[in-house]
Amino acid sequence: MLAVTAQVAVYAQAAPRFSTQTSTINDLVANPEAKAVLEKHMPAIVQAAGQVGGQTLKSLQAMAPDRLTDKVLAEIDADLAKIK
């Protein structure tokens, strides 16, 4: 049982606080560091938060695949992963 608890603790520490797949736009905009990441990569998303705030960037990818490419999402995730 202790080993399982330790594994869960390690996973929780390794999991990013924010991500393009699990964090809503509202969650990202509410955090100053995450908002800065969005402003760096996708400033229009910050401006549109009132309209798309309940969605994740990954879910918006289907509506704007030319701008929310896998590469862009990966770059955003890399910057979001730096937030503690």
pLDDT in tens, 55-83: 999 999 999 999 999 999 999 999 999 99
Q: What is the pTM of this model?
A: 0.80
pLDDT in tens, 27-61: 999 999 999 999 999 999 999 999 999 999 999 99
Q: Which domain holds residue 74?
A: 18-80
Residues 71, 27: Cα–Cα separation, whole Å: 22
Asked whether residue 23 is assigned to any structural domain, the reply reads yes
Number of folded domains in the chain?
1
Asked whether residue 9 is assigned to any structural domain, the reply reads no
Asked whether residue 2 is assigned to any structural domain, the reply reads no
Asked whether residue 31 is assigned to any structural domain, the reply reads yes
Residues 60, 47: Cα–Cα separation, whole Å: 15
